[in-house]
Amino acid sequence: MNEPDHTPSKCRYVVVGLFCFMAAIAYLSRNAISVFAADETFVAEFRQSDMNADATTQALSHVMSAFFWSYALLQIPFGWLGQRFGTRAMLSAYMGACGVLTLAMGLSTTIVILAVVQALLGATQAGMLPTAMRSVADWVPTTRRGWVSGLIAACMQIGGAIASSLTGYLAEQGYSWRQTLAFYSAPALLWAFSFVVWFRNQPEQHAGVTPGELIIIRAGRTEPATSTPQERTNWAGIVTCGALWAINAQQFFRAAGYIFFATWFPKFLRETYHVSLGEAGLLSSLPLITILLGSTSGGWLADHLLKRTNSRAIARKLVASVSLITCSLLIAGAYWAPTAEVAIVMISCGTFFSGVAGPCAFAQTIDIAGRQVPVVFGMMNMLGNIGAAICPPIVTAFAAKTQSWSSVLFLFGAIYFAGGLSWLFLDAEQRLSSVESTKDA
């Protein structure tokens, strides 16, 4: 009789790597359109005969918002589908559809068709993160969730940074926006195929996971496993959990702040500092890169402080609040920067601190949610993306009202400051299960 192999396998790292690639690929098609929108040729292609340049720009802002409205509003139902049918089936379907729709976006001939495809793309991506975070809860040890959340958040920025810089580069090399989107569709299709072949919903179901790795994954875990398809979602507990509403509020403001850099930042750079399209694409990647660095640093810091202090109030609440308030001061202060170079450095330092707060929110949400991770995470991400959907038209309206694109720095400074304040209302030790217990008592 063979003894069980207690040598830890490494399958959990492959799972984390797959989720990181997923996050990066999703942001390729999502962020590329912001660079296209700063190109006069692209804008002219979608300008109708009765529209001037400003009207076309405003219409494109609604195209950008179309993605985030569907992405926001379908977080909960598509997160529930991930909970109901499992990560393996649903993430493969979501990513496969993402690849097809990225290709379809490049075939759009009118601004209405472009908006519809953007909305459908947002719908396919809505369930990705909530479903993936369900499997983070299943595959990742409790004391590594901040680090893993930071890696996934960082890879979102890698995808966004690649989209900004590579799209600008390809445009200057003579590739059309349609050709660029065709190129961006391939990675999603390859990922979907690889994931459905290799991944399993639970570590126990994977042939490559040894008993030694299972011991590591389950070590120190106090919450039960994530919900089964037969388990009912505790909607009353979710709606009445005060800690979740504090998390939802910070996500609303943090996502609203981030979206400036994923949509109108190239336009801001061209209008304020008169750079070329290629330079705008390259410079737009810098805040995304510093968010990446902030995300990885924030994940490590949150886990390190949790191990040292055993206090989520310090490791997550304090770190996130201070980081977002620092971010707000740096971004608003960039308005008075004496040169463009100094302004970009200040803005990029600000986005670094916004990145630090991201893993704190992800890890805290997993801890609060217990068995209800996909739905609870979907609710948080929904509120965040409602903030993201609202912002693009507000930015163009604000710039038109003030007759200055540089003034939007005050707007986003205030948004990040509100996000920092939201963390102060969080009870870092509250759990959804404790709310259920209180109701049952």
Which of 429, 14, 414 lies closest to 209, judged by CA? Answer: 14
pLDDT value at residue 391: 80
Low-confidence ranges of the chain (pLDDT < 50): 1, 226-227, 229-230, 434-441
pLDDT value at residue 241: 83
The neighbour count for residue 347, using CB atoms within 10 Å, is 26
Long-range own/partner contacts, residues 12-17 (CB < 8 A, 24 or more apart): 12/139, 12/140, 12/203, 12/209, 12/213, 12/216, 12/217, 14/198, 15/135, 15/139, 15/140, 15/199, 16/136, 16/139, 16/140, 16/148, 16/151, 16/152
Over the stretch 263-275, which tens digit does the pLDDT of each residue have?
Answer: 778 788 888 888 7
pLDDT value at residue 434: 42
pLDDT value at residue 5: 53
408-427 burial, b for 16+ CB within 10 Å, e for fewer?
bbebbbebbbbbbbbbeebe
Q: Domains of the chain (ranges plus CATH)?
A: 11-225+236-440 (1.20.1250.20)
- Does pTM top 0.75 for this prediction? no
Which of 194, 208, 83, 196 lies closest to 137, judged by CA? Answer: 83
